[in-house]
Structure 1
């Protein structure tokens, strides 16, 4: 398994040349009596959107960018693969241009070829982060599993001693009370869900990190998986409560649509809550740093630093809290779907 993961990461991080894309700097000349220097107005909105959005390269700072492989498929050319650095700064390569992270085919006159719609399977920044998160999960839990095997009957050591309290807490305080005696069937998924969100939340807080869990496509997939597991595991009492509620029949025209909407709102709330909270945290942090460039005064920096430090501590709490809430609510939804019927008298 690890040799395949290593092959993937070699293709992600070493494809293309050069290793780092270089940004060109404009040179301003001085006249004998005055300087001709035109300052661009700082656009904090564009800066924030640039940092929280996905991109075909991985920009760590303004002058250091790691190119990632661009993988395109078109009916006339088939599969094409090249480095994302070929499309930096609006360049056209092999008839393609990166138009706001949407790669399009270009005609000879520079206009977009509307007849060709390339299918983009590129390894973007979010995809690369997804791979790193998956690799970290494999490495961590392989080590934990090995620890349980070698330290059987003994006190946990190393990473096992750090992870075991979290695993036991999620099992005994979250999953088991929410689902009941049949929790074992769903615990592996819920544990994976918790640590996947938690680790990627932490990766997003690193300098140059990707906003993976703040990408609504990622939260949509996680919510959809939880939705499918919940409703495919549901028993007849769950569906009877939704489709044949215990109310007078004349109220069914109101109650059934309400219950169906409630079923659909559960994954929607999971998706939006994680997306909104993680994205909001990144926007607040970037807005604080943007104040330095707006006021253009070094005196603002200490105040921004204090608030940024405080927000970083809050973000660490939110990283755990959002993973916990997503797992807890999923456990509760599964528990309500498989709960046995108890007649009330």
Structure 2
């Protein structure tokens, strides 16, 4: 148990921090800080938009919004890290680091940068020329809310797993207790019910650290996304950039560990010659497409399921304001118990979905590893 935990911790560190870095570089979620925080102050001036309300609360942002009351907005600014493509506009300085509070919730520009409201770059940080016109996006390495959520989950997982390792060492030969009693059955379940049947008795061990990393990372971030209290509430697994990285890790490990039989079945499968003849490589195209489709399905399944849960909850909450705007405050107040009841039901259902999605992603990854390493029969 202790030996496994050490290798597991190394894999966790590599996986999680890679996700954080890649997400910061490639995040494509819309920044919602300005829209969500100004909504409370502007609600008396413009009609409530359910679509904007829902999207704003599931999108990423450059700060961590806590609450709004009237014109008072409480949020935690996050570091903005930019590499300018036009250093001549910044006195030759290309690298810029400052806090997101400099943007004043997206209303102001700072040091030649601003959060765009244009159709092309909406929600993204763009560079401005000397006249204040938008040029293009800089290289954005900012610590957004989703990236901060990844770091929070890393800290929490390190604490849980190191505590489990210490407990296993201390209680060697004894019944598990404390956090070890919570996590050890899960680790044994992944080993005995997922890794061994899918990969094989003699080949599963080297894949265990990664499989456990996948399962615990997905599970804990699924749970954290359901708790709307800082430092939780970041929609990490509902962000396609994160699920893409997880799927790419599975794809890379599958490709690297593929044996001779695995590649033979892709490029020269056991089918009639006319189906695999070089002038008409039908089966090669089918098999190669399947190899690329598998990680794509992993990415979309996790993203869609977790995002859908958050969207449905926000839709039920927005119904209160929709009915209030259409039929008056009394009707909105009357609809609130029903909306809240359905929201609580969906949240409870999301707890079950969180377990299922973590299990399915891990199981399918193990099956792909097993297919790549299986021997010819």
Distance 1:317 1:298, change over 3 A: same
TM-score calculated relative to the size of structure 2: 0.79
Corresponding residue for residue 230 of structure 1: 254
Alignment of 1:299-310 (within 5 A): 299-310=334-345
Matches of 1:317 and 1:26 in 2, distance apart? Answer: 33
**201-210 or 139-148: which moved more?**
201-210
The equivalences for 1:1-345 within 5 A come to 39-62=45-68, 63-75=73-85, 76=87, 77-87=93-103, 88-99=105-116, 100-114=122-136, 117-181=137-201, 182-207=203-228, 209-252=233-276, 253-296=281-324, 297-342=332-377
How far is 1:229 from its partner? 0.5
Judge conservation of contact 1:56–1:101 (CA < 8 Å) in 2: no
Could you give the per-residue CA deviations for residues 68-100 of structure 1, whole angstroms, max 9, x where no partner exists?
011111251122111101112420111211114
Offset from partner CA, 1:33-53 (integer Å, 9 cap, x none): xxxx96411111111111111
What is the CA distance between 1:27 and its match in structure 2?
9.0
Instruction: State the distance in 2 between where 1:215 and 1:24 align.
Output: 24
Q: 1:93 aligns to what SS in structure 2?
A: coil
Q: SS at the partner of 1:109? A: coil
State the SS of the aligned residue for 1:148.
Answer: helix
Q: Which has the larger radius of gyration?
A: 1
Q: Is residue 69–residue 123 contact of structure 1 (8 Å, CA) maintained in 2?
A: yes
Cα deviation 1:216-267 (Å, max 9, x = unaligned): 1111110011001012111111111111111111011221111111111100
Length-normalised TM-score, structure 1: 0.86
Give the deviation of 1:110 after TM superposition: 2.8
Distance (whole Å) between structure 2 residues aligned to residue 96 and residue 264 of structure 1:
38
Q: Distance in 1 between matches of 2:354 and 2:362?
A: 13
Residue 337 of structure 1: how far off its partner (Å) = 1.0
Gaps of 5+ in 1: 9-20, 29-36
Total equivalences in the alignment: 314
What's the CA shift for 1:109? 3.3
Moved more, 308-317 or 208-217: 208-217
The aligned residue for residue 22 of structure 2 is none
Q: Partners in 1 of 2:295 and 2:74 — Cα distance? A: 38
Question: Do the aligned residues in 2 keep the contact of 1:60 with 1:207 (CA within 8 Å)?
Answer: no
Tell me how far apart the structure 2 counterparts of residues 259 and 221 of structure 1 sit (CA, whole Å): 23
RMSD of aligned Cα (Å): 2.2
Relative distance call for 1:273 and 1:43 in structure 2 (3 A) is: same
In the other structure, the counterpart of 2:31 is none
3-state DSSP class of the match of 1:122? coil
1:85 alignment partner, SS class: helix
